[in-house]
Chain A
Amino acid sequence: MRWWLRARRALSVLLVALGVFTAAVMVLGDATVELPSLLSGSANPVLFVLMAPIPVVAALELSLGSRLVEAEETATRRVRALDSGLVIGVCATALAVGGAIHLLTGNEHAVASGRNVVFLTGLLLCVRVFVGQPAIAAPVLWVFAVIFVGYSGGGHWAFWTVLPKPSGDAPAALAAMLALTIGLLLHGTVRRTVAPSIT
C-alpha cells in the first residue's frame, strides 16, 4: 500500500493540486469576466472559479496514469479498489475544502467548486478508459463548452452546463454524483490493453 501511494505520487502531485485548488477558490471568489459567447454574440459573464477544478482533475489523471504496469497487472492487492478510494478521497477533500471556505468567507461558489471537481473527475474517468491520457482534454473542453454555448442571456445557464450552477442546485449535484458513479464503475471494469506511459 505504501508503494502504491508512492507510485501514484499521491503526496507530491495530489496534495499540491489540492493546495492550488484551495488557493484558487479563496482568491478568485465570485469574480466574473466577460468572455465571448457563440450564442448571445456579445460577452457573457463567466465565473473565474470555473477553472479551479482543472488542476485537481489534471493531477488525478497524472496520478492514476503513474502505474507500475507489470507489478499492478499481476498484483494480489486490489489496486483498482485502492484507486477508487483515492479518487473518492480527492473528491471528498475538494468538497470539504469548498465547505470550509464557504463557512470561513461566505463565498457562495466554494461548495459548487467542490461539486465541480466531483463532476469533472467523473467525466475524466468515463473518458480515460477509452482514450487514455488525452482524456484530460474532456474536462477542459467541457469548461470551454460552458463558456461558448452555455449562456443564453439573462443570467440563465443551460441545464447541461452543471459548472456555473449555484451550490444548492439539485440537478447539478445529481449530475456530479452520477458522473462520478459511472466513472468509477467504468474504471473498475474496463481494461485497457494499451501500455500506459509515465510522464
Chain B
Amino acid sequence: MRFRTWLRASAALWLAPLALALIVLYFYGGHLADYRPGDPRLGYAPRTVSAVLLSVYPLIYATAVALGAWESGRLRRDGVWALGPARSRAGLIAQALAPVWLLAGLMIGLAIGLALVHEGQAPTVASLVLPGMAWALAIAHSLIGFAAGLVLPRIVVAPVLALAVFYAVAAAWSYEPFWLRHISGQYPGELGFGQLPTAASVGAPVLFAGAIALGLTLLTTPVWRPVWRVGCAVAGCLAMLGGTVGAYAMVRDWGHSPSASTGHAQVRCAGDELPVCVPAATAGDLPAVRADIGETLRLLTDAGVPVEPPARVEDRLIAEGERPPDTWRLPLTSLHSADTTQLAVVDTVVVFPCAEPDGTTARTVMLWAAGVAGVADDYLQRQREELLVYQDGAQILDEIVEQAVAVTELSPAEQADWYRNTLAAACAPGESAGGA
C-alpha cells in the first residue's frame, strides 16, 4: 500500500489533531499549574518526564484501545479476512495498527518534549524508561481493542472501551487495594531527584496488559485444526490468567508508592575530615556549604556546646539506603539557596533528651545557640512565622528574646553551664519556662 493511502485509510489520522491538541492543552492548562520544578540546576530529566506523564497515561491508552477496535472493525467490514491469504495475519494486523502506534508514540513524545523543552533539559536514556513503558502498554491496548473489534461491532466496542479504559486507568490511583494502581499502567507517582523506577514497577503493568493482549489475540486467531483451536484457546486463557496473577504477585506487598531505586544522580563530595556531598549539578555550592557547616560547628564547640561532629554530611537528594548513625542528611541544596545552612546545623546539633521539651525553654535554648552561630535573626524570623498560629505568640517571642539576651550577658563559662542545665530542665516534668 502506498504510504499516503495507508495513512489516510486509518482513523488514527483523523483523531490525531484532537488527541495531540488535548496533550498540548493539558500541558499548558493542567500540568504547569501543578508542577513544582525545584532547583533548576538539578535538571533531572526522569523527574520531569514522570511528572508530565502522570495524567496523560489514561488518555493515551484510551486512544489506543478505541482506535485498535475501530481499525479491526474496518478490516472486518471490508472483508479483508475473507480474502485469500496472500499476506500473513500478523503483517495485516501490524499494518492496520501501525498508525495507532505511531499516534500513541507522538502523544507520548509531545508530552515529554514539551516538558523537557520547558525545563530546558536534555532527555537521558534513563528518563525514557517510563515513556517506553507507556508506549509498550499503548501497543498492548491497541491489540486488546483489535481483538475485541474482531468479535463485537466496532460502533459499540470502540466508545465503550475508550471510556472504560480511561476511567479504569485514571481511577486505579484513587482506590485500594494498592496493587490495582501498580498494574494499571499509570506509574503512580513523581520520581524524586536521583530516583528511577525499578524493573518490577515497570514490568508489572507491561506483564498484565501484555498478557491480556496476547491472550485475546490467541483467542481470536482462527485456526483450522480442531486440536490447535483448543490449544490456542487454552493457551490464551492461561496467558491472561498467568499474566494477571504474575503481575499481582509482583506488586501485592507494595504500599501506595511504587518501588523506585535511588542514588542515580552523580554525586560530588569535598573535604577529608568532614566530607560533604551534594549532587554534581550543584557542586558549585560545595565550598560555601562546607564553610558554613565547619564554621557553625566550630562556633558551637567554642561556646561549650557538646558537639559530636558527623562523619559525613550528605544532601537528602542523593540519600541512598539506610542512614548510618554518624551521617547527617540535610536538604543542602535547598538550604543553601535559602541561605539557612547554619541554622539547619544548629537544629541538628541541639538535641533535647526528650521528644517534647517545654516550648518556651526549648525556644530560648535554640535562640541562644542560633545567636552563637550568628544566625539569631534567621531563627527569630522562623519563630515569628511558627508562632503566628498561637494567640499569645508575640508574648512568647518577647519572652524568649528577653531570656536569651540575659544569658548572653553572662561569662562564656556560665553560658556553657546554663546551656547544659537548661537542656535538661526543658525536659524535666512539672518544670515550666525559665532557668535563665
The reply to whether B153 and A136 form a contact with Cβ atoms under 8 Å apart is no
Q: Is A88 an interface residue (CB 8 A)?
A: no
Q: How large is the interface on B (under 10, 10 to 19, 20 to 34, 35 or more residues)?
A: 20 to 34
Write out the residue numbers on chain B whose beta carbons fall within 8 Å of the beta carbon of A65. Answer: 155
Most buried by A among B11, B66, B163, B166: B163
Segment among B22-30, B282-290, B302-310 that sits at the interface with chain A = B22-30
Could you tell me the distance in whole angstroms from the C-beta of B61 to the nearest C-beta in chain A? 13
The reply to whether B77 and A143 form a contact with Cβ atoms under 8 Å apart is no
Could you tell me the distance in whole angstroms from the C-beta of B269 to the nearest C-beta in chain A? 39
What number of A residues sit within 8 Å (CB to CB) of B? 36
Interface SS of chain B: helix, strand, loop or mixed? helix
Annotate A51-64 by CB proximity to B: 1 below 8 A, 0 otherwise: 10011011101100
The A20-76 residues at the B interface (CB cut-off 8 A) are 33-43, 48, 51, 54-55, 57-59, 61-62, 65
| Separation of A17 and B153 alpha carbons in the complex (Å) | 13
Segment among B167-175, B205-213, B354-362 that sits at the interface with chain A = B167-175
The reply to whether A36 and B155 form a contact with Cβ atoms under 8 Å apart is no
Q: Is B189 an interface residue (CB 8 A)?
A: no
Write out the residue numbers on chain A whose beta carbons fall within 8 Å of the beta carbon of B82. Answer: none
The B247-266 residues at the A interface (CB cut-off 8 A) are none
Q: Is B127 an interface residue (CB 8 A)?
A: no
| Separation of A168 and B68 alpha carbons in the complex (Å) | 39
Most buried by B among A38, A51, A54, A134: A38
Residue of A nearest to B168 (CB): A33
Q: Is B55 an interface residue (CB 8 A)?
A: yes
Q: Which of B29, B77, B171, B173 contacts A41 (CB 8 A)?
A: B29
Residue of B nearest to A20 (CB): B160
The reply to whether B77 and A197 form a contact with Cβ atoms under 8 Å apart is yes
The reply to whether A51 and B26 form a contact with Cβ atoms under 8 Å apart is no
Contacts A33-B174, A137-B159, A148-B22; A199 near B154 (Cβ below 8 A): yes
| Separation of A65 and B173 alpha carbons in the complex (Å) | 38
| Separation of A51 and B155 alpha carbons in the complex (Å) | 15
The reply to whether A38 and B30 form a contact with Cβ atoms under 8 Å apart is yes
The reply to whether A54 and B153 form a contact with Cβ atoms under 8 Å apart is no
| Separation of A65 and B156 alpha carbons in the complex (Å) | 12
The reply to whether B164 and A51 form a contact with Cβ atoms under 8 Å apart is yes
Could you tell me the distance in whole angstroms from the C-beta of B132 to the nearest C-beta in chain A? 22
Write out the residue numbers on chain B whose beta carbons fall within 8 Å of the beta carbon of A33. Answer: 167, 170-171, 174
Residue of B nearest to A48 (CB): B167
Annotate B123-166 by CB proximity to A: 1 below 8 A, 0 otherwise: 00000000000000000000000000000011110111011101
Q: Is A181 an interface residue (CB 8 A)?
A: no
Interface SS of chain A: helix, strand, loop or mixed? helix
Residue of A nearest to B62 (CB): A144
The reply to whether B159 and A58 form a contact with Cβ atoms under 8 Å apart is yes
Write out the residue numbers on chain A whose beta carbons fall within 8 Å of the beta carbon of B25. Answer: 38, 148
Q: Is B99 an interface residue (CB 8 A)?
A: no
Q: Is A98 an interface residue (CB 8 A)?
A: no
Most buried by B among A41, A55, A59: A41
| Separation of A140 and B65 alpha carbons in the complex (Å) | 14
Q: Is B229 an interface residue (CB 8 A)?
A: no
Residue of A nearest to B156 (CB): A58
Contacts A143-B163, A199-B73, A199-B77; A39 near B29 (Cβ below 8 A): yes
Write out the residue numbers on chain A whose beta carbons fall within 8 Å of the beta carbon of B164. Answer: 51
| Separation of A140 and B58 alpha carbons in the complex (Å) | 15
The reply to whether B29 and A55 form a contact with Cβ atoms under 8 Å apart is no
Q: Is B34 an interface residue (CB 8 A)?
A: yes
| Separation of A17 and B58 alpha carbons in the complex (Å) | 25
Write out the residue numbers on chain A whose beta carbons fall within 8 Å of the beta carbon of B156. Answer: 13, 17, 55, 58-59, 62
The B20-64 residues at the A interface (CB cut-off 8 A) are 22, 25-26, 29-31, 33-34, 55-56, 58
Q: Is A133 an interface residue (CB 8 A)?
A: yes
Closest 7 CB pairs of A and B: A41-B33, A36-B55, A38-B29, A33-B171, A58-B156, A51-B163, A140-B159
Known: A42-B34, A197-B77. 17 other contacts (CB 8 A): A33-B174, A34-B173, A38-B22, A39-B29, A41-B34, A43-B174, A48-B167, A48-B171, A54-B163, A62-B156, A65-B155, A134-B11, A134-B14, A137-B159, A140-B66, A198-B77, A199-B77
